[in-house]
Chains A and B, each alone.
Chain A
Amino acid sequence: METTTDRHDVAIELRSISFTYPGHEHPVFDNLNFSFHGGHMGLIGDNGSGKTTLFHIMVGLLRPDSGQVLFNGKVMETEEDFTLLRRHVGMLFQNADDQLFSPSVVEDIAFGPLNLGHSPEEAREIAMTTLERVGLQGYEDRITHHLSGGEKRLVALATVLAMEPEILLLDEPTNDLDNAARGRLLEILGSLDQSLILISHDWDFLSRLTSTFYALEDGQLVRSNQVSIHQHQHVHPLGDRRHIHPPC
């Protein structure tokens, strides 16, 4: 398969990372090691176990107290290193409200491509096609802070996709989404040839996108095969009638 080979060359590596939030006693990570060589990966863990913090360390928004972050084999040290890394690694934040800051949807999506050096015309074009990809055509002139929670999340995804990162870090992307939007998200993510790391508490969603799972437990990442023992429980309109589930 020639199409995907270059995508899978990218790698993020964490070497003996220790991190404690200032003013806290307990470290979030103590000597954590991890490497990611492309593909799809699920990241699970209890609330407060440090999943979001791990993402932020990977892209240099938080700096570890000790340890190194490597991107494609190169140690990331300065802010410039991370600025460069962020051109290749995109992140969907846990809270979509924080991710949108321009007045209109099209301006928000075009912000990344413009920073990457595209001309305004190209950036607008990219923004429009990306909007269409996430199924929000016609939303370009909407005001970002008047969107619904689910719409905000899809627009936030579009802002990340518009930069065409090689690695996508997704922090609980199914939050606030209804079934239709969740299905659309599944479809979009399934069709991407980018590598991705996915944080989610939504087992069903996770298991449809990936079969590799890591769990954060006590500040360490452990490979997990919990997919076989997960519990199935949900609410839907046919709950009291007999119904068939699509195979996972």
Chain B
Amino acid sequence: MIEERFALGSSLLHRTDPSVKIIGATVLAIIIAISQSMAAILIGLGMGIALALLARLSPRALWPRFAAVNLFCLFLWVTLPLTGGGEAMGHIWSMAISRKGVMLALYVTIKTNAILLVLTALLATSPVHHIGRGMQRLGISTKLTLLLLTSYRYLNLIHQEFKRLQRAAELRCFDPRTNIHTYRTYSYLVGMTFVRSWERSRRVHNAMLMRGFNGTFPVLDTTTFRRRDLYFLLLFTASALVLAAVSLTW
């Protein structure tokens, strides 16, 4: 269900320490999200594109992600210009098009795409368990890290559990229609999925306890912080400073 499409690769960004990438992604995404300056968010978009190129993300794999977020933006483009109020830019069929609304939709669209590029280029280029490791190394609470790692791992299992039950129902000639029988069957399926996933999580926890689990995932990976990681850290800090400065002055 969840594929890590971008996690494998040999680009510079793929080989950068996940904790550095987490810092970079968080800082850049936050600044782009709160910035009010068009110049700053355009520079942010440029940085996103540069990072995506650096990570050598395949455009074909990126496309579905853009489609998903821009569908949401499209919805804003339909509603905001009509409801934005204030000064009108013009009229379509006697409906006033609000300048404020258009600008807002434009801002949101650019920001969304810039953040998408930054996050994909930085975070999606490491397998999730490396990101978890990076979080651990940064001292982010072990509970959060565990939550990320285990929910990622078990979303797949829960999905499989659901599919297994669904297949069992189909094998017995279950044919979804718009009737009570269908609704009842689906509610059983969903309910059973939750119960079984919960029981399963308990069994997995037991297995972890049997192997000396004490609340944190030990790290097998022995890679250490390299000089290149330091350069990236500096690069991200500099980019963040540039963005912040531009936001404040223009």
Q: Hey, which bits of chain A sit against chain B, CB under 8 A?
A: 56, 59, 61, 83, 86-87, 90-91, 93, 95, 98-99, 101-103, 106-107, 110-112, 114-116, 120-121, 123-124, 145, 159-160, 163
Contact = CB atoms under 8 A, between A and B. Distances in A.
A218 B219 CA distance: 46
Given A98-B200, A99-B204, A115-B211, 20 more contacts: A56-B206, A83-B209, A83-B214, A86-B209, A86-B210, A93-B203, A93-B206, A101-B150, A101-B207, A103-B127, A111-B211, A111-B213, A111-B217, A112-B211, A116-B212, A120-B220, A121-B222, A123-B218, A159-B211, A163-B212
Contacts of B203: 93, 95, 98
A91 B220 contact: no
B210 A120 contact: no
B58 interface: no
Given A106-B220, A145-B156, A59 B210 contact: yes
6 contacts: A86-B210, A86-B211, A98-B204, A101-B150, A145-B157, A163-B211
B94 to A, nearest CB: 59
Interface in B135-168: 150, 153, 156-157
Given A95-B203, A115-B214, A101 B221 contact: no
Interface string B211-237: 111100111111000000000000000
B56 interface: no
Contacts, number: 72
A186 to B, nearest CB: 23
List 4 tightest A-B contacts by C-beta distance, closest first: A115-B212, A114-B218, A98-B203, A112-B211
B1 to A, nearest CB: 12
- State the majority secondary structure of interface residues on A: helix
Q: Which of B156, B211, B217, B222 has the most CB of A within 10 A?
A: B211
B99 interface: no
A163 B204 CA distance: 18
- State the majority secondary structure of interface residues on B: helix
A67 B200 CA distance: 28
A111 B153 contact: no
B153 A61 contact: no
B100 interface: no
A59 B211 CA distance: 11
Nearest to A102: B129
B211 A110 contact: no
Nearest to A120: B222
B212 A98 contact: no
A46 B204 CA distance: 25
Contact of A112 (B157, B204, B212): B212
Nearest to B127: A103
B208 to A, nearest CB: 7
Contacts of A160: 210-211
Contacts of A115: 211-214, 218
A103 B214 CA distance: 19
B219 A120 contact: yes
Q: Which of B156, B200, B207, B221 has the most CB of A within 10 A?
A: B207
Contact of A120 (B150, B207, B212, B221): B221
A156 to B, nearest CB: 8
A99 B211 CA distance: 10
Nearest to B199: A98
Contacts of B210: 59, 61, 86, 90-91, 160
Contacts of B219: 114, 120
A156 B213 CA distance: 16
Contacts of A61: 206, 209-210
A166 to B, nearest CB: 14
Contacts of B208: 101, 111
A86 B200 CA distance: 21
B188 to A, nearest CB: 20
